[in-house]
Amino acid sequence: MEVYRVERKLGSGTFGSVFLVRAKSDGKAYALKQIRVNRDDIVGGVIAASRESTINKALLAGCNDKTRQYFVNMKEQFYTERRGLKGTSVWNNIVLEYVGSTLSHHILHNLSLPKDILIPQIINEVAYLHSLHIMHRDIKPSNILLLEKPSMQAKLCDFGEYRSMLEAIFCYDPSKRPTASEMLSYCHCMCLLGKNGREKLAKKSTDNINSKLQLVVRSGKFQLGFKSVLKTIRSGKAKLLLVADNCSPLRKSELEYYAMLTKTTVHHYQGNCLDLGTACGKYFGVSSVAIIDAGDSDILRTFEN
């Protein structure tokens, strides 16, 4: 924090707060989002801290000049410690482009809004996210920033609740009660698929996908374990990534981040590390598998269709 000067608090959420800061070197304004990552009473804080920075990096890495304006640019990310009466706490700091206003501010203060410009922009931004199989799941006026100069531009922010469409569709657990925003996003996905798409999707149950895993791994062309899998993804050799459902959240986020950069298909295996190891013909636990060559199996086509 030696390079930034905090001016005022902009807002707060479940896991942290957002501050207006200025760089001491040139006085440029930024938004600093701080997320506490070691709060013992909220385990989800660890997940939120990792997911927020991961999705920002992935989105910006894949953007071109046109799509980059859809989102708030991230300058950097770092960790800091604070010492207090209850001990030392660690915070994930995400430095973002500062956008002066929000849609909620304009609505509350009855300020004029060019609806013919903003509505198409927001629709394009959501459509772009869906093309990457990403659901925001928390779109509301306070999460739509408005850049007024040089021209009015809406920007989506706060991706702490995002989810992969593939995860939501292929690994939907009926025993868990979905949120209202999750159901709305899921219904939107179903509408986009159309009748033929929904019929194809109905045939691809999780049991159907998992039953084909052994066909894939019998080819022997796969990598086991976090380090070897991560190396395979980074080198662009992985065709498919399998992740056990009890994989460490931080490791899972790192795997998903590099998989998104290399456009590798990710399947969240509905079983623990031992189950995944057994499916791979190995009698030990493994939290992640990278498939290099699917052999004679059609599992890749199953995911791509």
Residue 218, domain CATH: 3.30.1330.30
pLDDT at 188 over 60: no
Q: In terms of domains, do 188 and 222 share one?
A: no
**CA–CA separation, 280 and 296 (whole Å):** 16
8 Å CB contact between 75 and 114: no
Distance, in Å, from the CA atom of 98 to the CA atom of 240, rounded to the nearest integer, reads: 37
Which of 296 and 31 is assigned the larger pLDDT?
A: 31
Model confidence pLDDT, tens digit, residues 117-137: 899 999 988 888 887 778 888
Task: Check whether residue 261 and residue 225 sit in a common domain.
Answer: yes
In the sheet that 240-244 helps form, which strands lie side by side, from edge to edge? 222-224, 288-291, 240-244, 265-269
Location of structure tokens 């509408």 = 191
Pick the last residue of a domain from 71, 98, 125: 98
pLDDT in tens, 56-102: 777 776 677 778 888 888 888 888 888 877 777 788 889 999 998 89
Q: Are residues 105 and 172 in the same domain?
A: yes
CATH number (domain holding residue 37): 3.30.200.20
Annotated binding-site residues read: 33
Final residue before a domain boundary, out of 197, 232, 264: 197
Per DSSP, which regions of 55-186 are E strands? 74-84, 87-97, 101-102, 134-135, 144-147, 153-156, 163-164
Task: Tell me how far apart the alpha carbons of residues 32 and 19 are, in angstroms, rounded to a whole number.
Answer: 5
Statement to judge: residues 171 and 224 lie in one domain = no
**What pLDDT, on a 0 to 100 scale, did the predictor assign at position 197?**
52
d(CA 79, CA 95) in angstroms, rounded, equals 11
Share of the chain above pLDDT 90, in %: 12
Cβ distance 225 to 248 under 8 Å?
A: no
What pLDDT, in 10s, does the model give residues 213-225?
666 666 667 888 8
- Residue 196 binned pLDDT confidence (cut-offs 50, 70, 90): low
CA angle 82-84-87, nearest 5°?
Answer: 90
Domain boundary among 38, 71, 98: 98
What is the per-residue pLDDT across 136-157, written as a single tens digit (0 to 9) for each? 888 899 889 999 877 889 999 8
What's the chain's average pLDDT?
Answer: 75
Residue 277's pLDDT is what? Answer: 74
Q: Could you give the percent of the chain with pLDDT greater than 70?
A: 69
Q: What is the pLDDT of residue 263?
A: 84
Q: What pLDDT was estimated at residue 192?
A: 47
71 and 143 in one domain? no
Quote the pTM value: 0.53
Which residues are known binding-site members for ATP?
33
- Res. 303 pLDDT band, cuts 50 70 90: low
259-273 per-position pLDDT tens digit: 888 888 888 887 778
What is the number of structural domains in the chain? 3
Residue 145: its pLDDT value, please? 93
48 and 76 in a single domain? The answer is yes
| 26 vs 180: CA distance, rounded Å | 44
CATH of the domain at 138: 1.10.510.10
| Residues 181 and 222 occupy one common structural domain | no
pLDDT of 35: 83
109 and 190, same domain (yes or no):
yes
Q: Give the per-residue pLDDT at 8.
A: 93
pLDDT band at 240 (very low <50, low <70, confident <90, very high): confident
CA angle at residue 297 from 294 to 298, to 5 degrees? 100
Pairing mode of beta strands 74-84, 101-102: unpaired
Both 186 and 236 in one domain: the answer is no
Question: In whole angstroms, what is the distance from residue 17 CA to residue 99 CA?
Answer: 16
Read off the pLDDT of each residue in 243-247 and give the average, rounded to a whole number: 84
Higher pLDDT among residues 197 and 155, named by residue: 155
**Are 248 and 193 in the same domain?**
no
Tell me the C-alpha distance between 67 and 124, whole Å: 9
Query: Would you mind telling me the total number of residues written for the chain in this entry?
Result: 305
Is the pLDDT assigned to residue 6 strictly greater than 90? yes
**Three-point CA angle 81, 87, 93, nearest 5°:** 25
Residue type, 235: S
Domain assignment of residue 173, given as a range: 100-197
What pLDDT is stored for residue 43 in this prediction? Answer: 46
